[in-house]
Structure 1
């Protein structure tokens, strides 16, 4: 299926490893012009060596000034933006009563405020050309408890913002949607680390918690991102799609 993504200008945050890397590679394979933002210089260097056609931008996008800097660098390179993938994220802390308020604030800056701000920067360009797509990588735990409270709270806010922004900008031809991954296994992720440390426990988790009977892959998330960015998804607006092998307990 030709998704007509060739030549599209695509910016992926948190794109040097894991889900973000898989999404960046998938768009590049479709012939899109891809820029990746990440904090880790070594991971970006490795990405550039393997995919020299991808623009790599080093920044901590929890910082407002850094977001403005790398977004402008992307525009300077490609002239406009067609697709924004807000994927950067992370979690810290433990139970709510055991976690410093500063860690909640950090989680919001990294996961949520970065997505809001970059969307604000991207929308005027998309509006000017009459079309565009913003895809927020949320989590099934943005709808239900399961991950760390800092992460859950930020992803929940992200899901709400996805719908409110979608309704605001669809009249300008801009579609905003989210992808809520379940447990995804990749070499640099927490699930791989836990699997290596205690395979019996993690295999039991998969059996008990994931109806499909296995972890998801980054490619399965990337495929959904490609679809949502394409005109094949032209009537999908403000949705937040679970991509989780049935793991979520939510039925709506």
Structure 2
């Protein structure tokens, strides 16, 4: 390590430094995109910490990855739990070089059905947790000479679709990244937002739709995906790894959609 920046280890014609030796904390790392980010970072030689609500998924992840991953079950919206995990990770790894706010979700139905508690819960699990993660990590990133924070937003944060409380929270994450990039830039800390499109994740909404109603899925793809298919979580994970690497040193305050030029975020309207 050198000032929080990993020494290039691959050589070759590209000199790609990757994330080898980076110390990274990822929230929500046991399913879907979060799991793919954790697995890619670990495979690339990073030291990775991750958290999720239940121990079961974390235990399975740790068993498959071994000592390269540090896990803890926690609720990212619970007071101090996330901050304590950041501190524990910094102590265990001797610092931090990057964080990824991947945990997220939505509560409540349509606009007339979602109440104030649904809006507050959706905001906290997306925007609140991301802000607290970055804030808790700042002392470690600053001590390392700078680092990278990646906030996972969504296509719903910049292309309208139901439900409103989710889209508003995801839009706020994009603004959060841009604002923090300006505020933390003097410390060498970069902050960026990544907005995945509708991803095919086993057992999740679009995968179920593909299996249970293939005709509706085909219509959705034909209408909304110029590239002919939804984006895969592995493709998004590679973009996140790039933003954590030193090769992205000139990128901060950016919003990077990874959606194959998808149009509407769902077949439900708009």
TM-score (norm 1): 0.95
Runs of at least 4 residues off by over 2 Å: 1-4, 193-197
Cα separation, 2, equivalents of 1:116 and 1:188? 29
- In proportion to residue count, which structure has more helix? 1
The answer to whether 1:195 aligns with 2:189 is no
The answer to whether 1:27 aligns with 2:41 is yes
Deviations 1:25-51 (A, max 9, x none): 111111000011111322112111111
Among 66, 91, 115, the residue aligned to 1:76: 91
Q: Is the 8 A contact 2:160 2:264 kept in 1?
A: no
Among 51, 57, 62, the residue aligned to 1:43: 57
SS in 2 for 1:176: strand
Q: Is the 8 A contact 2:27 2:34 kept in 1?
A: yes
Name the structure 2 match of 1:86: 101
Cα separation, 1, equivalents of 2:133 and 2:220? 36
Q: Name the stretch that deviates more: 234-243 or 88-97.
A: 88-97
The CA RMSD measured in Å over matched residues stands at: 1.5
Deviation at 1:193, TM superposition (A): 2.3
Name the structure 2 match of 1:156: 171
Q: Is the 8 A contact 1:16 1:38 kept in 2?
A: yes
Name the structure 2 match of 1:108: 123
Cα separation, 2, equivalents of 1:66 and 1:248? 37
Q: Is the 8 A contact 1:130 1:173 kept in 2?
A: yes
Name the structure 2 match of 1:245: 260
The answer to whether 1:165 aligns with 2:186 is no
* 1:128-139 mapped onto 2 (5 Å cutoff): 128-139=143-154
Deviation at 1:248, TM superposition (A): 4.1
Name the structure 2 match of 1:215: 230
Among 225, 229, 244, the residue aligned to 2:244: 229
Unaligned runs of 5+ in 1: none
Cα separation, 2, equivalents of 1:3 and 1:185? 29
SS in 2 for 1:168: helix
Deviation at 1:249, TM superposition (A): 6.3
Deviation at 1:110, TM superposition (A): 0.6
Q: Name the stretch that deviates more: 52-61 or 144-153.
A: 144-153
Q: Is the 8 A contact 1:63 1:109 kept in 2?
A: no
Deviation at 1:101, TM superposition (A): 1.2
Cα separation, 1, equivalents of 2:160 and 2:64? 38
Deviation at 1:134, TM superposition (A): 0.1
Cα separation, 1, equivalents of 2:56 and 2:210? 24
Cα separation, 1, equivalents of 2:253 and 2:76? 24
Q: Is the 8 A contact 1:216 1:244 kept in 2?
A: yes
Q: Is the 8 A contact 1:177 1:236 kept in 2?
A: yes
Q: Name the stretch that deviates more: 147-156 or 79-88.
A: 147-156
Cα separation, 2, equivalents of 1:219 and 1:13? 17
Deviation at 1:149, TM superposition (A): 1.5
